[in-house]
């Protein structure tokens, strides 16, 4: 642990960084920072129009005419999409594997569990887990085969530590991706591949508006206490964590408390400071949970009216999974 103080920080300059979900929100913010630091940056997302405007933004922060900045449109929720995107992204770099992969694509659609369907459940798993797992699988096979060094950066969320009413479809994927990162951190000690994973809380990005469109009122109310940050603010914390070699990256107060309370065997960057977070979580989180639980119980009547108005109790109710 002390060795970290003298360890050289990772420098993105001249490296090829592949950013998924790089056309907006946190992905774009991280891509911009990487360009500013002199990296070659490839971004991938589904929306060609958004990619175009993102590229314009990236061009404005370019530090050298030699930086290779490229964008590609692929859907990464299938193994085929992930493979084709990687092929395309590596092409202008003599087909060498990226030096770092930042997997920041994904979306959040909260809902009451009993209002989920087979389709919404699967979509949410695609958008939280598979969208990262396939790229990680494809990339690591190539990196091991070619014996190339590199970094793979996953992203989860506060909800990957501490889930809440409304996140029955979203929380599982966020915790699943953490389990994948935890496994690979250890397994990839067999190779020269570093694993990182970030856990952002509320971020004011375009995704946040999409998320709030389906978010139950009770969930919104409970989340009022999270002050939130902008994508640019979070991107700085994320990149600082990657550069200094942190495994679980949680660059804020709540994130640190949640991380220490859900540490498992994830290595800590600072055992002594984390003892404090662990203690605060040990005492504070049960109190917070009891408050939230009683808020949920107090919502029973309103929830029953909500379900009744939506026709959930009627015999012709169509909400059963189709």
Give whole-number Cα distances, 203 to 147, 223, 226, 236, 237, in Å.
36, 12, 10, 13, 13
Of residues 88 and 296, the one with the C-beta less far from a copy of itself = 296
∠ CA 134-138-144, nearest 5°, is 140
Which residue of 29, 76, 184, 254 would you call a contact of a copy of itself, by CB under 8 A? 184
- State the minimum distance, in angstroms, from the CB of residue 44 to a copy of itself: 18
- State the minimum distance, in angstroms, from the CB of residue 236 to a copy of itself: 26
Residues 92-121 interacting with a copy of itself (rule: CB under 8 A): 112-114, 116, 118, 121
- State the minimum distance, in angstroms, from the CB of residue 192 to a copy of itself: 10
* Straight-line distance from the first to the last Cα atom of the chain, in angstroms, rounded to the nearest whole number: 52
User: Which residues touch 209 (CB under 8 Å, ≥6 apart)?
Assistant: none
Residues 117-136 interacting with a copy of itself (rule: CB under 8 A): 118, 121, 125, 129, 133-134
- State the minimum distance, in angstroms, from the CB of residue 167 to a copy of itself: 5
Contact 206, 3 (CB under 8 A): no
Cα R_g (the chain), whole angstroms: 20
Please tell me what DSSP assigns to residue 167: B
Please tell me what DSSP assigns to residue 34: H
- Residue 106, Ramachandran bin (φ over 0: left; ψ between -120 and 50: alpha; else beta): left
Of residues 99 and 138, the one with the C-beta less far from a copy of itself = 138
- State the minimum distance, in angstroms, from the CB of residue 130 to a copy of itself: 8
Which residue of 48, 68, 179, 253 would you call a contact of a copy of itself, by CB under 8 A? 179
Interaction of residue 4 with a copy of itself, rule CB under 8 A: no
Interaction of residue 153 with a copy of itself, rule CB under 8 A: no
Residues 260-319 interacting with a copy of itself (rule: CB under 8 A): 261-265, 267-268, 271, 275, 278, 282, 285-286, 288-289, 292-293, 296-297, 299-300, 303, 307, 312-313, 317, 319
- Report how many residues bind a copy of itself under the rule CB under 8 A: 74
Interaction of residue 197 with a copy of itself, rule CB under 8 A: no
| Number of other residues whose CB lies within 10 A of the CB of residue 115 | 16
- State the minimum distance, in angstroms, from the CB of residue 196 to a copy of itself: 16
- Tokens representing residue 41 in the block: 């940056």
DSSP 46-73: S-HHHHHHHHHHHHHT---TT--EEEEE
Interaction of residue 59 with a copy of itself, rule CB under 8 A: no
Of residues 18 and 112, the one with the C-beta less far from a copy of itself = 112
- Tokens representing residue 114 in the block: 């009993």
């Amino acid at each position: 642990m002390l060795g970290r103080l003298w360890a050289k920080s990772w420098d993105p300059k001249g490296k090829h960084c592949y950013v998924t979900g790089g056309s907006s929100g946190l992905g774009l913010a991280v891509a911009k920072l990487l360009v500013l630091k002199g990296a070659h940056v490839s971004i991938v997302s589904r929306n060609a129009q958004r990619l175009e405007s993102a590229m314009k933004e990236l061009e404005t922060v370019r530090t050298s005419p030699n930086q290779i900045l490229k964008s590609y449109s692929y859907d990464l929720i299938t193994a085929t999409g992930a493979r084709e995107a990687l092929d395309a992204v590596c092409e202008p770099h003599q087909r060498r594997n990226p030096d770092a992969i930042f997997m920041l694509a994904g979306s959040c659609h909260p809902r009451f569990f009993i209002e989920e369907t087979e389709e919404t459940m699967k979509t949410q798993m695609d958008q939280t887990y598979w969208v990262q797992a396939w790229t990680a699988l494809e990339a690591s096979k190539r990196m091991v085969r070619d014996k190339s060094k590199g970094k793979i950066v996953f992203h989860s969320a506060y909800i990957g530590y501490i889930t809440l009413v409304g996140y029955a479809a979203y929380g599982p994927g966020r915790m699943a991706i953490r389990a994948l990162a935890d496994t690979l951190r250890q397994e990839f000690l067999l190779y020269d591949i570093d694993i990182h994973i970030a856990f952002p809380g509320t971020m004011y990005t375009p995704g946040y508006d999409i998320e709030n469109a389906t978010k139950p009122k009770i969930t919104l109310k409970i989340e009022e206490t999270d002050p939130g940050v902008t994508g640019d603010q979070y991107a700085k914390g994320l990149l600082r964590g990657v550069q200094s070699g942190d495994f679980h990256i949680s660059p804020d107060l709540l994130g640190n408390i949640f991380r220490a309370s859900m540490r498992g065997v994830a290595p800590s960057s600072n055992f002594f400071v984390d003892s404090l977070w662990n203690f605060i979580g040990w005492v504070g989180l049960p109190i917070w949970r009891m408050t939230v639980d009683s808020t949920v119980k107090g919502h029973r009547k309103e929830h029953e009216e909500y379900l009744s108005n939506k026709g959930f109790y009627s015999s012709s109710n169509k909400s059963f999974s189709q």
